[in-house]
């Protein structure tokens, strides 16, 4: 492999290669067929579809589909579990007992660049690593492992998307197949790179501008606010501004990172509203299997649902800001490397009495997700879809999962910016959307209370039920905002005093500009909103 340790590149011929069609034929019969295809047939899996209560299709190794037929029989809502991703699909009836939908496995609607790159590293005899990179950097990348070599064949896997890679080593060339299980999606011939890789750099489509926001658009266009991907503003329930940058569009779900913690909070609220658990005062140990009860002691027994929602479990689970303890087993990067995430977190020392001090850490909402999974009678992702996303008319989204392939409440969902606006409006309207009650008013009120200050953040922000509090000074006046926040600059700003919701998505994962949206919001959007008549 030393001879192949280099940068390689090729072209993906069809921009829609990874935009797969999914079809179920003969639903309700023994001779049903589950199909996945692009310009070639990829999956053609026969199954018995007589039982329509829940449709489960394990169509290839470690990848499956599970869905539910709507009451009116016109659609199937479900998920493909592939790698660590739970891809939501809505298959719509297209004929007699036939249902069709789309699966965008790379989370983008169409490749804006055909370039495919492969970095082969640390080659020595049969040892190597290989990392694919797309010229279209709107795809958030692969997490590859399981590097194998046998004679002139190499294989490796992306455990994030579930894609498999198989390469044939040829003189001055690598012939690479990208597969779903053992089924080929596409093939690419790679040659050694002789120039630097060209990644991203997509021009922004010119949108209809609001004069008061033209300065903001110019600053984004000239890279003064780098890696800004979208800015949307809703006022009085109406979308009044929508703009996308760097190739992003209304159809591309964006990596929300920890901003989706606020969605996790909503799911807990829905479960409580439905009486699936008694109270936020219940101990986390009321929801855990017997094998974890040995971790219970007089102090840890006081960790309850409320303390998980308010980041005040008392565990040494700090993983945000300069005060984080990198050696703590409950830091996100640490517990996610362990075999048993729950055990690792519960073994963590206590540094405070629960519900007395708040320290931001993803281990808290992760345990919340475990609790919610224990009280619902169906797979948690189907519960989330049925009681939240379908009611918000959201179908184009992806959920990041844990090692057991259950929704990870610590963050990592992919939603479009317009759907993020919907979620913010749900809370702005006290749990209603389009006049439909989804969350109780009490849960929204409780969620937006300022319980404790986050000790490990620079601004010592107040914190609600997985919602941030922040105050902005505009022309000498204070404006309070309640926010969902995620790494890289993913923000949902809910501003009750202005009856407004603002969404900003970004890609500042490595340059320290994670709070750039706050500057945009304070200096450009709030002054504009303050000038508008109610």
pLDDT on residue 325: 85
Pick the closest to residue 414 from 208, 196, 252 (CA basis).
252
pLDDT tens figures, 229-280 = 999 999 999 999 999 999 999 999 999 999 999 999 999 999 999 999 999 9
What is the average per-residue pLDDT within 196-210? 84
Ordered DSSP codes for 356-424: T-B---THHHHHHHHHHHHH-SS-HHHHHIIIIITTTT--S-EEEB-TTSSB-TTS--EE-HHHHHHHH
For tokens 């800001």, the residue is 321
**Where do the domains of the chain lie, and which CATH numbers do they carry?**
2-12+113-192 (2.40.128.20), 19-104 (no CATH), 203-256+394-403+414-534 (3.40.710.10)
205 — pLDDT class (breaks 50, 70, 90) = low
Q: Is the pLDDT of residue 534 over 90?
A: no
Answer yes or no: are the C-beta atoms of 244 and 208 closer than 8 Å.
Answer: no
pLDDT tens figures, 95-136 = 889 999 999 999 999 999 999 999 999 999 999 999 999 999
pLDDT on residue 302: 98
Give the Cα separation of 521 and 143 in Å (integer): 33
480 — pLDDT class (breaks 50, 70, 90) = very high
Pick the closest to residue 338 from 292, 285, 402 (CA basis).
402
Tokens of 25: 């034929």
* Helices of type H across 139-281: 214-221, 261-273
pLDDT tens figures, 288-341 = 999 999 999 999 999 999 999 999 999 999 987 767 788 899 999 899 999 999
pLDDT on residue 466: 98
Residues contacting 161, CB < 8 A, separation 6+ = 82, 83, 85, 105, 106, 142
Whole-structure pTM over 0.95, yes or no? Answer: yes
pLDDT on residue 207: 66
Pick the closest to residue 161 from 105, 220, 221 (CA basis).
105
**Average pLDDT of the chain, as a whole number:** 96
Give the Cα separation of 164 and 186 in Å (integer): 11
Answer yes or no: are the C-beta atoms of 46 and 33 closer than 8 Å.
Answer: yes
Q: Is the pLDDT of residue 189 over 90?
A: yes
Using CA of residue 327, residue 329, residue 331, residue 335, what is the dihedral sign?
positive
CA distances from 341 to 90, 216, 367, 468, 530 (A): 31, 43, 9, 25, 46
Q: Is the pLDDT of residue 227 over 80?
A: yes
pLDDT tens figures, 409-460 = 999 999 999 999 999 999 999 999 999 999 999 999 999 999 999 999 999 9
CA distances from 28 to 31, 52, 378 (A): 9, 7, 21
Give the Cα separation of 468 and 470 in Å (integer): 7
pLDDT on residue 62: 94
β-bridge partners, 239: 234
203 — pLDDT class (breaks 50, 70, 90) = confident
Answer yes or no: are the C-beta atoms of 419 and 392 closer than 8 Å.
Answer: yes
pLDDT on residue 96: 86
Percent of the chain with pLDDT over 70: 99
Q: Any idea what DSSP says for residue 216?
A: H
CA distances from 300 to 309, 349, 351, 352, 467 (A): 16, 9, 11, 10, 24
Tokens of 411: 């963050």
State the CB neighbour count (10 A cutoff) for residue 39.
Answer: 10
């Amino acid at each position: 492999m030393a001879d192949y340790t280099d940068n390689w590149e090729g072209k993906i011929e069809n921009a829609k290669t990874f935009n797969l069609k999914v079809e179920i034929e003969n639903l309700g019969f023994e001779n049903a067929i589950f199909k996945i295809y692009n310009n070639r047939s990829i999956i053609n899996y026969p199954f018995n579809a007589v039982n329509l209560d829940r449709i489960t299709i394990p169509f290839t190794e470690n990848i499956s589909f599970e869905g539910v037929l709507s009451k009116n029989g016109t659609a199937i809502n479900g998920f493909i579990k592939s790698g660590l991703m739970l891809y939501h699909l809505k298959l719509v009836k297209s004929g007699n007992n036939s249902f069709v939908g789309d699966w965008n496995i790379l989370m983008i609607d169409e490749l804006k660049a055909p370039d495919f790159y492969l970095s082969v590293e640390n080659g020595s005899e049969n040892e190597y690593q290989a990392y694919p990179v797309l010229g279209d950097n709107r795809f958030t990348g692969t997490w590859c492992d399981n590097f194998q070599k046998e004679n002139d064949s190499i294989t490796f896997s992306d455990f994030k998307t579930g894609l498999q890679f198989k390469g044939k080593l040829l003189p001055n060339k690598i012939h690479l197949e990208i597969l779903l299980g053992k089924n080929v999606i596409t093939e690419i011939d790679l040659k050694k790179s002789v120039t630097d890789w060209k990644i991203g750099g997509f021009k922004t489509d010119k949108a209809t501008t609001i004069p008061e926001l033209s300065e903001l658009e110019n600053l984004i266009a000239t890279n003064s606010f780098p890696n800004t991907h979208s800015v949307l503003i809703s006022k009085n329930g109406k979308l009044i501004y929508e703009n996308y940058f760097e190739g992003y569009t209304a159809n591309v779900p964006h990596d929300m990172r920890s901003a989706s913690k606020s969605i996790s909070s909503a799911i807990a609220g829905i479960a409580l509203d439905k009486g699936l658990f008694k109270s936020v005062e219940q101990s986390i140990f009321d929801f855990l299997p017997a094998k974890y009860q040995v971790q219970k002691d007089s102090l840890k027994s006081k960790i309850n649902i409320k303390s998980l929602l308010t980041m005040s479990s008392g565990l040494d689970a700090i993983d945000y800001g300069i005060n984080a303890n990198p050696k703590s087993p409950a830091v996100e990067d640490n517990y996610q490397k362990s075999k048993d995430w729950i055990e690792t977190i519960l073994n963590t020392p206590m540094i405070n009495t629960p519900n007395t001090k708040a320290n931001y850490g993803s281990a808290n909402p992760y345990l919340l997700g475990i609790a919610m999974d224990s009280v619902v009678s169906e797979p948690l992702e189907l519960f989330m879809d049925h009681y939240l996303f379908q009611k918000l008319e959201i179908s184009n989204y992806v959920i990041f999962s844990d090692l057991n392939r259950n929704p990870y409440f610590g963050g990592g969902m992919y939603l479009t910016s317009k759907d993020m606006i919907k979620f913010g409006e749900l809370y702005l309207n006290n749990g209603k959307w389009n006049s439909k009650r989804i969350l109780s008013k009490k849960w929204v009120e409780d969620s937006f209370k300022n319980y404790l200050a986050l000790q490990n953040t620079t601004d010592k922000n107040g914190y609600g039920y997985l919602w941030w509090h922040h105050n902005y000074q505009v022309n000498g006046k204070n404006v309070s905002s309640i926010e969902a926040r995620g790494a890289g600059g993913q923000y949902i700003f809910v501003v009750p005093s202005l009856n407004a919701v603002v969404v900003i998505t970004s890609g500042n994962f490595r340059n320290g500009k994670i709070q750039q949206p706050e500057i945009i919001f304070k200096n450009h959007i709030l002054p504009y909103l303050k000038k508008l008549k109610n």
